[in-house]
Amino acid sequence: GCMINGKLYPFGHIERTEDCYKCDCSEGGVECCSLSHRTVSYNKKKCKVVFNKKCCDCDVVQKDDPSKPCCFASSCV
């Protein structure tokens, strides 16, 4: 198998690792690509990115109150 981030996976196609990657594992090595999107356009002073491994997604939330999402310029009222 292949060791990916400290965990052993069997040879073949891996639909989703614990760290949200899709991989192909063979005797020649392993190739992976991320299943999540990277959020880059947000107010870094007021907001932070929280990664959710359960659904392989990122949420942008307010630093002062993480229960509230950050609004982007196009969606602010």
- The pLDDT score that the predictor gives to residue 22 is 94
Q: Would you give the distance in Å from CA 10 to the centre of its chain?
A: 22
Domain that holds residue 60: 41-68
Summarize pLDDT for 9-35 with one digit per residue, the tens: 999 999 999 888 999 999 999 999 988
Residues 26 and 6 in one domain: yes
Residue 74 belongs to some domain of the structure: no
2: CB partners within 8 A, 6+ apart: 8, 9, 11, 23, 25, 26, 29, 30
pTM over 0.75: no
Domain count, the chain: 2
The verdict on 7 and 28 lying in the same domain is yes
> Mean pLDDT, the chain, as a whole number?
85
